[in-house]
Each structure stands twice: as C-alpha cells, then as structure tokens.
Amino acid sequence: MDAHVTPSRVAGRTRAPPSKSYTHRAVLAAGYSDEAVVRDALVSADTKATMRAVEAFGGSVDCDGQTVEVAGFGGRPGTPDDVVNCENSGTTMRLVTGCAALGEGLTVLTGDASLRSRPHGPLLDAVFDLDGRAESTRRNGQAPLVVGDGMTGGTVEIPGDVSSQFITALLMAGAVTEEGIDVELTTELKSSPYVDITLELLADFGVEATRTDAGFSVPGGQSYAPEGGAYSVPGDFSSLSYLLAAGAVAGAEGEDVVIEGARPSAQGDSAIVDIVRDMGATVDWDEDAGELVVSAADLTGTTVDVGDTPDLLPTIAVLGAIADGDTVIENCEHVRFKETDRVSAMAEELAEMGANVTEQRDRLTIHGGETDLVGAAVDGRGDHRIVMSLAVAGLVADGETTIAGSEHVDVSFPNFFEAMRDLGAEMTEH
C-alpha cells in the first residue's frame, strides 16, 4: 500500500500510542508470571508476535482493546508445538530467545526476511556459556535459531555495542533461573536507556535487578507479580517524535499541536523534546498532565549523538532536512542493524526528495541550508519508522510525496495516518 502526502498544516490535539518497548517487556513479564493484566498496551504487529510467543510457551493471552489479560507459564516455558514466528519483530526474537533458553526442550525461532538478516550471535554465545543450547541453523548468528536445554544461570560476558536487547533478554530470563545471571559487558553499552526501561519494568513486576560496576546482575529464584496484578504501559516517545516533529515543521500559524500521553518514564527517546527545542521550536511539557504543546518555528541545525536513542535517527534526519544549516547525527553505526539500514535508508530517500546528505559509516550529515524538499516517490523500506518520518517530510515538501509500504506503520503506530489526518494533514492510503 502507498501513502500519498501533500503539503498541509497541522493543529489540534492528539495522543501518543502506548510504548512498544514497554508493551513487549510487560507482555513477556506477564508470561513469566502466574497471571497478570497489562493495561494501555500497544496492540500492533510487533507486540502481537510477543503475545503469540507467550502462548507458544504455554501461556494464554486475551486482548480486549488495549487491555491484555495473560495467564502465564509461571517462569517455566513449555516446549512449543511448532516453530515460533517472530515476523518482523527483533525485540520479540531477542527477548524470547532468553525465555526459550530456559525450556527443557528446544524452541525454533524464525521471522521474515528482514529479521533473518539481523545479528543475534552474541546472545546465542551468552546462552551457550550459561549452559543452554543456542545456535543459528545457518551458523551465521542469524535466524532461524534453535534454543533450549534449560539454561541455569551464572556469569557471562557479552558486548554492549550490538543490541541492548541482549541484556534485557538475559535479565528477564535470569530472574527465574536457579543461580541468577551476572552480565559483564566487554564493550560500552549502546542504547543504555532501553536497559533502564527493563530495570524499571522488572521492579514494577516485583523483580530485583541492578547495575553493577561490570554490567548488570539479577538474582535467581524470583517470581514475576505486578502490584495489584496489573501493569499500565506509558506512552511511546519514539512514536510521539513524529507528532512532535510535525507540529514543529508544519504547525498551522498561531495554533499548537497538543500531544497527550507524554508522561515521564525511563525512555531515552524523551530526548526528542530537548532536541526539537535545541533546533528552535517552542515545546512546553506539562509532565504531571503528560502533555506536550508544540508550535511551528524556523529550525536551525544541531548535532545529536544517537548512541542511546537509535530510533530517533529518522525523525532527526527529517528535521535536519527542513532546518537551516547542518544537522549532524553522530554515533549511529548501530542504527544500521534495525528493520533496515536506517542510516542509508534516510540518506537515500531524503536525497530522492532533494536533500543534500553526506553519509559516513558512523555519521549522517543533513545539509539543510542546501536543501529544498520536493515531493517524490520514496520507499519506506518495509520499516515503520522510515515510513512515518518520510510522511512528516512530505508535509512541507513541494508537491506530492508517495511513500511505498505505508502499511508497515502497524508495527508501532497502527493509527498513525488517522492521527495525522485528525490534525489536518492531507494524507491518504491506497
């Protein structure tokens, strides 16, 4: 399906979707429990993959709107009857690998072509070092994966610069092992705030896990049980970034965009608020009410290190293409290992729209002062974040922008186009 975007102005009130990162973790944590309710959940293509995995391990999941009731497997996953298909969800694949490692039998994990090209080797090595079985059927560290044989816990070394999700998977699984797991990092940890999300959520489920001088530690023999039997998911700042960017670059004159669901949490992507402010937009954040108010402004370029906030790169790249001067996105090599190579994807697709961009391995520079965006036919690369960021660019490009693969927004923000139309954006899909 294609999205068609024509220049338009936005104003009004909208709401950020629930956090995908928190929903994945909460649903799996509920699976580790005897039973739990996850409220305000994001029910999307990706999180449904995690729900199916919980069911494959012997739990049951019942969705009623944004309320997910889970009868869990009590910390001991059963052996699935069939292959577990994680579709396009890298978070599912990695978090579920840790869970599958606890099983006495073997679990086969696979996904779509994009997911089967993403690296899992360090996590497989860690599971093996913790006395579990974990291997790639193609012996290249990529799915399909075969995992199981009852990982018992212990101390393990793992690099921190490939994916923070490896650490999350080990911490979540380690809580129900006999020995617990001590994770010692062999490199600097990238995307550190995502592990903070994990630690915050584990605490809400009654599980102790801490940072150490060497990395992280989770004692064994613990049980998952949220207070009152329920957990509520906060709003998603990664998805909110597109709404915030739209207000900053295409807000109607004299009017604001108000974004609900912006309560403070451990999400590193809340940095988008300060980034947009730094580029010159007026953003007011009522943290108690969970509301952001943004109005359009003339933006100027900035320099942003996305080592901890990789999902913001597409949004920042678009802001840079509209801003005056250069916007430099640094420390971004790990962003190449997402649903697609997002560094190259944004460089190439923005160039199709007339942007002057310099791409390096670990840096992306958008020369906004030398850019006049024009409507063009661009490719969303099967990546929800590429699609949504290009849609924001289309709001201010000269002429119509056609984005291939618009259906992929279902991964994290299923009603993205509807929300944008409600703000006045001229966007259609067919």
- DSSP secondary structure letters along 231-265: EEPPB-HHHHHHHHHHHHHHBPTT--EEEE-----
Could you tell me if 197 and 84 lie in one domain? Answer: yes
Q: Where are the alpha helices (DSSP H) in 33-142?
A: 45-56, 90-100, 121-129
- Other C-beta atoms within 10 Å of 249: how many? 25
Could you tell me if 226 and 336 lie in one domain? Answer: no
pLDDT at 356: 98
Could you tell me if 160 and 287 lie in one domain? Answer: no
pLDDT at 384: 95
- Other C-beta atoms within 10 Å of 379: how many? 18
pLDDT at 124: 98
Residue 38: half-sphere exposure toward Cβ, Cα within 13 Å: 33
pLDDT digits (tens, 9 = 90+) for 377-428: 999 999 999 999 999 999 999 999 999 999 999 999 999 999 999 999 999 9
Q: What is the crossing angle of helices 90-100 and 45-56, to 10°?
A: 20
Count Cβ atoms within 10 A of the Cβ of residue 289 and give its class: 0-12 exposed, 13-18 middle, 19 or more buried. Answer: exposed
Domain boundary among 232, 258, 282: 232
Could you tell me if 115 and 202 lie in one domain? Answer: yes
* 3-state SS class at 305: strand
Q: How far apart are CA 42 and CA 414, in angstroms?
A: 9
Percentage of the chain modeled with pLDDT above 70: 100
Could you tell me if 332 and 380 lie in one domain? Answer: yes
Could you tell me if 219 and 241 lie in one domain? Answer: no
**Are 5 and 395 a contacting pair, CB within 8 Å?**
yes
pLDDT at 383: 96
Q: How far apart are CA 299 and CA 366, in angstroms?
A: 13
Could you tell me if 120 and 223 lie in one domain? Answer: yes
What average pLDDT score do residues 154-172 get? 96
Tokens, residue 372: 């006049």
Strands 282-286 and 230-232: unpaired
* 3-state SS class at 273: helix
- Residues of the binding site for 3-phosphoshikimate: 20-21, 25, 163-165, 191, 311, 338
Instruction: Return phi, psi of residue 157, to 5°.
Output: -100, 145
pLDDT digits (tens, 9 = 90+) for 271-314: 999 999 999 999 999 999 999 999 999 999 999 999 999 999 99
- Show Cβ contacts of residue 418 under 8 Å, excluding neighbours closer than 6 positions: none
What's the CATH number where 291 sits?
3.65.10.10
- Residues of the binding site: 20-21, 25, 90, 118, 163-165, 191, 311, 338, 342, 385
Domain boundary among 214, 232, 250: 232
Could you tell me if 30 and 91 lie in one domain? Answer: yes
pLDDT at 366: 98
Q: What is the Rg, in whole angstroms, of the alpha carbon atoms belonging to the chain?
A: 21
pLDDT at 364: 98
> What single letter denotes the amino acid at residue 271?
A
- Other C-beta atoms within 10 Å of 128: how many? 17
Name the band, by pLDDT with cuts 50, 70 and 90, for residue 335.
Answer: very high
Could you tell me if 319 and 414 lie in one domain? Answer: yes
Could you tell me if 141 and 171 lie in one domain? Answer: yes
pLDDT at 11: 98
Tokens, residue 363: 């840096």
Q: How far apart are CA 294 and CA 280, in angstroms?
A: 11
What distance lies between CA 328 and its chain's CA centroid? 22
Name the band, by pLDDT with cuts 50, 70 and 90, for residue 376.
Answer: very high
Could you tell me if 352 and 402 lie in one domain? Answer: yes
pLDDT at 252: 96
Give the structural domain span for 315. Answer: 2-17+235-429
Domain boundary among 187, 217, 232: 232
Number of domains in the chain: 2
Could you tell me if 254 and 226 lie in one domain? Answer: no
Active-site residue list = 311
Tokens, residue 194: 């995502």
Strands 2-6 and 401-404: antiparallel
Instruction: Return phi, psi of residue 94, to 5°.
Output: -75, -45
Tokens, residue 416: 């993205």
pLDDT at 296: 95
- Show Cβ contacts of residue 24 under 8 Å, excluding neighbours closer than 6 positions: 46, 47, 50, 89, 91, 92, 95
